[in-house]
Structure 1
């Protein structure tokens, strides 16, 4: 493989923004990919994948390169040289790579890879937390899987088409997909591609949504004609799935504290042909109180650490802090206690997170069931998904029913 100067410069610029300026990796990569209109898909793929790979293994590569944060540009080139050497890429005769100790890099990699927190490139506190909550065997396998590139999974919009027709339509646009067992609405891309440019996407035939995330709406057991509330709707991936399961019949109230996210949901809903969604920004407790005892179904896709989706957000390893985990658990308790009051007698709710930590998942549900309001509920079933077992994102979901 031959390195091209303009592509390498783009990678270095991106790493500077992520590591030194605190920008989000996905936003940085989106900007980088628009940098040069002459770049083909292979060029863009190189920039995106290299940036993400170096972000994933920042700690390991920095240790091997013997550099410390904040990384000035020479340090970033040294880290890049480590990445290239470990990939077996011959370094060109550029000033940035002068005196790169190729043999030493491989030796250091072998030596440091014996220690999990260095091999998988995670902060000490995160490694200790994962070990404490999941145990050595499970945590070791899980964090290794969380460093692998995630597959691109689509959810067919059954309001407009079906899986077979979507597969055929994408094949006509040179995108090959395959069915996934136990995921009724999912198609997996055989090779990565920019699906957002397809006619099928523009026509609202699908959304990009991981296979684990797709199980949440199914778990809620919705029926056409119901009144359903999604209280942490965000940009609405699960809201749109609920709408398709309800065949556009009934009412979905999509709520979020961020109005900007609901505006994105409005655009997506239009493209999806969904018209049974009402959007409500949560600015105070008034809209919540108005819905007390009214919902047939309630989805709480709770704010969480996101430790189940590090494959998609590798920079979260470096942005997360232990205090955030402690604070988010308190938020989860409050959200469960406050929003569960919307469920009518005999109604059901799902509490879900994209975390793999029992303290954010099973333990939160157990704690809720002993609370004042939680005593009115019973746990019907729950499901824990670990990436190293499923091949998809780490997730948790619990279905609870309110007593009559």
Structure 2
């Protein structure tokens, strides 16, 4: 086993995420950057095995618990992680022979100084391999690998059919979506650049600047990306700056801006005029925004480290548009960050809704009379979305702004009370909530 064995790299990633509580997408991205010299096939294997194990963890544990006298929660963390990632390969990666999975798992256990448990690892996995055709789980929470409280909440809010569509969507592969910076180049020019590198681009059906792309290796090697002609952004997220109605000369404040997708979109819509100020809580988050700004070359953007809960008197009634895409439970992006469903607790939702209202109270004071507050989240939780929108109307000097006409035709029917809840698996995008408010002039 070499030092850069993909399974061993994956093991270390999963240990950091599942046993140390680190964020999955960050740990995976750091590992892929560290081992970028590996063949594309190996990097793809690491990505699929990491994300797949996190996505299917509840089902994997249920399967392992069927064939092990020691339940997963009682196992040593190293052994538990080796078994989980090996079970994923046996159940969901057909190209990997089961015998090879078992052998590699045993090697990993021995290499990590668990020789005494290598026989246990081998026995559990070989039994799983032999009996996997008989595995059947009637509990939808296990089948979709979604915590029971989460699925029950969605059933209550959206009905059983939609709840299961949402849960199932998180287990499907998703194309990468990008938004073109059309102040830098036309859609046609960017498409031509992608085509010259053999990269396929398909319209998403949302905005005419948002495409899904495939057929590339490193994103950083895509000319249109490193030249700043496009930005990674989900179609739902790209709607935020669009629905805010940003116009030439506006002052835009993005209060929770990292990693910068909406900031860049606002700057692009201004086409060199006006000003965007991008804020976030930490130097690290602002550095993510600045990396994207440097790549895209927008000169009309300033950045600032600021706690959005704290009112800044220097910005009082200075902004034509405030983009308030606030910290949330992230229930709409579990497909991209599967460890969310493993970390989040039901009681967290109320705390987040309260935090959002605290931020909105400060953010509302930055909007000029007649200006726009665009509230959005990447979740499907009513307390953080519809209930907070109602709270804004009841407690802050705003009224709803009509967004229906600015939505793609396919979404207009789902717009209720000038706000829209986008659902993964149903609308072809992340779960996202958007509502625009205009500040009263008196």
TM-score by length of 2: 0.84
Please tell me whether residue 265 in structure 1 is matched to residue 269 in structure 2.
no
Task: Decide whether aligned partners of structure 1 residues 223 and 64 sit closer, same or farther in structure 2, where only a CA change above 3 A counts.
Answer: same
CA distance, structure 1, for counterparts of residue 264 and residue 91 of structure 2? 42
CA contact (8 A) 2:308 2:363 kept: no
Instruction: Indicate the residue corresponding to 1:157 in structure 2.
Output: 181
Instruction: Indicate the residue corresponding to 2:12 in structure 1.
Output: 13
CA distance, structure 2, for counterparts of residue 149 and residue 262 of structure 1? 30
Unpaired runs of 5+ residues, structure 2, are 66-70, 107-120, 403-417
For residues 28-59 of structure 1, the C-alpha deviation after alignment (integer angstroms, 9 at most, x for no partner) is 22243355565211111011111100111111
Task: Decide whether aligned partners of structure 1 residues 214 and 129 sit closer, same or farther in structure 2, where only a CA change above 3 A counts.
Answer: same
Instruction: Indicate the residue corresponding to 2:90 in structure 1.
Output: 85
> How is 1:42-57 mapped onto 2 (pairs within 5 angstroms)?
42-57=41-56
For residues 310-361 of structure 1, the C-alpha deviation after alignment (integer angstroms, 9 at most, x for no partner) is 1110011111122321111001111222211211111111100001112211
Instruction: Indicate the residue corresponding to 1:200 in structure 2.
Output: 224
CA contact (8 A) 1:20 1:71 kept: no
Please tell me whether residue 393 in structure 1 is matched to residue 430 in structure 2.
yes
Q: Secondary structure at the match of 2:184?
A: coil
CA distance, structure 2, for counterparts of residue 55 and residue 28 of structure 1? 13
Which of 382, 396, 403 lines up with 2:419 in the alignment?
A: 382
How many residue pairs match? The answer is 396
Q: Secondary structure at the match of 1:222?
A: coil
For residues 69-90 of structure 1, the C-alpha deviation after alignment (integer angstroms, 9 at most, x for no partner) is 3653333333233222223342
For residues 249-268 of structure 1, the C-alpha deviation after alignment (integer angstroms, 9 at most, x for no partner) is 01112222223222332232
> How is 1:141-180 mapped onto 2 (pairs within 5 angstroms)?
141-180=165-204
Instruction: Indicate the residue corresponding to 2:134 in structure 1.
Output: 107
Q: Secondary structure at the match of 1:297?
A: strand
Instruction: Indicate the residue corresponding to 2:72 in structure 1.
Output: 68
CA distance, structure 2, for counterparts of residue 212 and residue 348 of structure 1? 19
Q: Secondary structure at the match of 1:98?
A: helix
CA distance, structure 1, for counterparts of residue 59 and residue 372 of structure 2? 46
CA contact (8 A) 2:309 2:362 kept: no
Instruction: Give the Å deviation of 1:307.
Output: 0.4
Which of 356, 367, 378 lines up with 1:332 in the alignment?
A: 356
Task: Decide whether aligned partners of structure 1 residues 71 and 360 sit closer, same or farther in structure 2, where only a CA change above 3 A counts.
Answer: farther
CA distance, structure 1, for counterparts of residue 201 and residue 388 of structure 2? 37
**What is the root-mean-square deviation in Å for CA atoms of aligned residues?**
2.3
> How is 1:20-59 mapped onto 2 (pairs within 5 angstroms)?
20-34=19-33, 36=35, 39-59=38-58
Instruction: Give the Å deviation of 1:220.
Output: 0.4
CA distance, structure 2, for counterparts of residue 303 and residue 286 of structure 1? 15
Task: Decide whether aligned partners of structure 1 residues 314 and 242 sit closer, same or farther in structure 2, where only a CA change above 3 A counts.
Answer: same
TM-score by length of 1: 0.91
CA distance, structure 2, for counterparts of residue 40 and residue 285 of structure 1? 45
